[in-house]
Amino acid sequence: MVSVREVDPQKFINLLKEELKKVEAIKPPEWSFFVKSSPGTERPPEQPDFWYIRAASILRRIYIDGPVGVSRLRTCYGKLKNRGRKPNRTKKASGKIIRLILQQLEKAGFVEKAKGGRRITPKGQSFLDNIAFKVKQQQ
């Protein structure tokens, strides 16, 4: 069986994004088009399907890194903040966006709470492995 680790991440996330759009439990809230994804960014995301791309990326990250909490994901998606003349500093990403995506993935049955964060369920693992198989066939 093909694993998520064996395929190209960009192709995998693009295909996973399209599959997540079909899942009813994963929908972007109204405010997601107006809010920044990190204090390090200057503007809100301009991609119309940003929510699904971030959800796909988070789901892949949980698959690869095992039980992952919101704090580690905030660090993973953080950016450098431009502070003018002062040196740049790394800022963590928005916790609300990550937390809400994790709750939606839980509702869909792809992740579950575990000690130390959230982990992938057997349903989520088979879902991701099937998509990795499709990506491998396209190469």
Listing DSSP states for 16-31 in one string gives HHHHHTT-TT----GG
pLDDT given for residue 26 in this prediction? 93
Residue 7 confidence class, pLDDT cut points 50, 70, 90:
very high
Q: Is the pLDDT of residue 85 over 80?
A: yes
| Residue linked to tokens 């964060």 | 117
Provide the 8-state DSSP code for 48. Answer: T
Sequence spans of domains, the chain: 4-138
The better pLDDT of the pair 61, 139 is held by 61
In this prediction the pTM is: 0.91
CATH number of this structure's domain 4-138? 1.10.10.10
109: left (phi over 0), alpha (psi -120 to 50) or beta: left
Average pLDDT over residues 104-114: 94
